[in-house]
Amino acid sequence: MEFEKKRRLMVENQIVRRGVTDERVIQAMLKVPRHLFLEEAVWESAYGDFPLPIGEGQTISQPYMVAVMTEKLELDKDSCVLEIGTGSGYQTAILAEICGQVFTIERIAALEKRARKKLEELGYTNIAFKIGDGTLGWSGLAPYNGILITAGSPKVPELLFSQLKEGGRMVIPIGNSFSQILTVVRKKDGKKIEEPCFGCTFVPLIGREGWEDA
C-alpha cells in the first residue's frame, strides 16, 4: 500500500475515530510523511498504532499520542511553541505545520543532527534547534504560547513553567519512569492549573529538573 493511503487510514482509524477533532492537527498528520523520520527497514510499520525505536534507546511516539498532545496545546499560526525532546523530529514537523515558530531541544546530539537534517530537507524554515538539557528551557526566546514535553517527568519543571506565557498551556507526561499521566498545565494568574488526562508511557526526561542519568 502506498504511504499516502496508509497515512489516511492512520488518521481515520487511530486519530479521528478516537476523538481528535482539531482540523489543523488532522491536516498536519495527513501531510507529514512519518516514514521519512524512521530507518527504511521499518517504513512498512511507520503508520502502525504504536511507538517505534529511533536509535540511542529512544522512540518516536505512537501517532495518536502525537495528535492528542498537539491538540491539547491549542496552537495556531500565531503561536510560538517550545518542544523538549526532538527525537526523530516527527512531532516537531507536526508543530511546524501548525505554528508560526517552533523551538526544539534534544539532549542526544546524534538524534538532533539527524532530525535537523531531515526537517531541513523537507523545507521547514520555522524551526530552531538546540542540543542540551531541555528541563532548563530556552530563556532567551521565552515566553511561549505552548510547551510540549515528549518524555516522562517526575514533576512540572519550574524553569520551563516560568517560560510559559500567561494563559499558555504545557503538555507533559508526569509520573515515575515506567508510567505517567498525560497532564495539561495551564498558567492562570501565574499559577499552575493541572488537568490530568490519561495514562501513558514515555522514555524518561533526563536533566536537572527531570530524572538523573542512569
Nearest approach in angstroms of CB 200 to ligand SAM is 10
* Beta carbon nearer to ligand SAM, 120 or 191: 120
> 32, 151, 156, 182: which one contacts ligand SAM (CB under 6 A)?
151
> Among this protein's residues, is 45 annotated catalytic?
no
Is the Cβ of residue 78 or residue 213 nearer to ligand SAM in the bound state? 213
146 binds ligand SAM (CB under 6 A): no
Q: What part of residues 61-100 is at the interface with ligand SAM (CB under 6 A)?
A: 61, 84-85, 87-88, 90-91
Q: Which phi-psi region, left, alpha or beta, contains residue 102 (left: φ > 0; alpha: ψ -120 to 50)?
A: beta
Nearest approach in angstroms of CB 112 to ligand SAM is: 9
Distance CA 19, CA 67 (A): 10
CA distance 10 to 79: 26
CB of 56 closer than 8 Å to CB of 137: no
How far is 114 from 146, CA to CA, in rounded Å?
24
User: Which value, to the nearest 10 degrees, does the dihedral of the CA atoms of residues 112, 113, 116, 119 take?
Assistant: -110
Give the DSSP letter of residue 95: H
**Closest separation in Å from C-beta 188 to ligand SAM:** 26
Residue 120 contacts residue 92 (beta carbons within 8 Å): no
Nearer to ligand SAM, 67 or 189 (CB): 67
Q: Which one of 14, 58, 145, 183 is in contact with ligand SAM (CB under 6 A)?
A: 58
Length of the chain: 214
- Distance of alpha carbon 152 from its chain centroid, rounded? 12
Using the rule CB under 6 A, give the single segment among 10-18, 19-27, 51-59, 72-80 that binds ligand SAM.
51-59
The binding site for ligand SAM (CB under 6 A) comprises 54, 58-61, 84-85, 87-88, 90-91, 105-108, 111, 133-135, 150-151, 202-203, 205-207, 210
